Amino acid sequence: MPDSVVVNGPTFWARTGDVVHTNGGDPHSEHGGADFIRLLVPDEVPDGFDLTLLSERETVAGRPCDVVVAVPRAPDPSGWAPESEVFDMTSGGDSFRLSVDRSTGILLQVVKLVDDQPAEISEFLEIALDEPLDDTLFQPLS
């Protein structure tokens, strides 16, 4: 995972050591393997899933979250149906348990369920939002 991620609208930059990747403003780009950005900007979820807000609350990465169950909708007339890739996971899954940050809407944890059993988990263990950035992050890399 990157050391630092900067998100500005649909554009992101991810830095790991001396390597910086960006999507160049294309929210569907997975350039550089930085497709985890789908958790930070989950714009495809409401379009492709039926969502049910549970009464549960939990804390993930130190942040209060609402718990939502997402069930993939049937394929549209063109045959497209959402799958696990929306959450940066391998294919499959009957439904997904989402831990949604209450103040930002970021998906801090996604659990893929197969036959109501956890099959894959994608989560942030630590996240810092709106942190001041050191100016050296924007200097040319040597």
Q: Domain of 86: which CATH number?
A: 2.50.20.10
Q: Is residue 74 part of a domain?
A: yes
Residue 97 in domain: yes
Neighbouring CB atoms inside 10 A of 120's CB total 17
Select, from the ranges 17-26, 106-115, 129-138, the one with the highest average predicted confidence (pLDDT): 106-115
Residues in the chain: 142
The verdict on residue 21 lying in a domain is no
Residue 84 in domain: yes
Q: How many domains does the chain have?
A: 1
Q: Which residue has the higher pLDDT, 8 or 112?
A: 112
Position 17 in a domain: no
pTM above 0.75, yes or no: no
More confident residue, 40 or 102: 102
Question: Tell me, what's the pLDDT at 35?
Answer: 59
85 domain residue, yes or no: yes
Pairing outcome for strands 49-60 and 4-8: unpaired
pLDDT tens column, 8-65: 777 777 777 778 778 787 766 655 555 566 666 676 677 788 899 999 999 999 999 9
Q: Which residues of 7-31 are buried (b: 16+ CB within 10 A; e: fewer)?
A: eeeeebbbbeeeebbbbeeeeebee
Determine whether 130 is exposed, middle or buried from the number of CB atoms within 10 Å of its CB (0-12, 13-18, 19+): exposed
Residues 57-81 pLDDT 10s:
999 999 999 999 999 888 878 877 7
Domain span holding position 60: 42-138
- Segment 88-117 mean pLDDT: 89
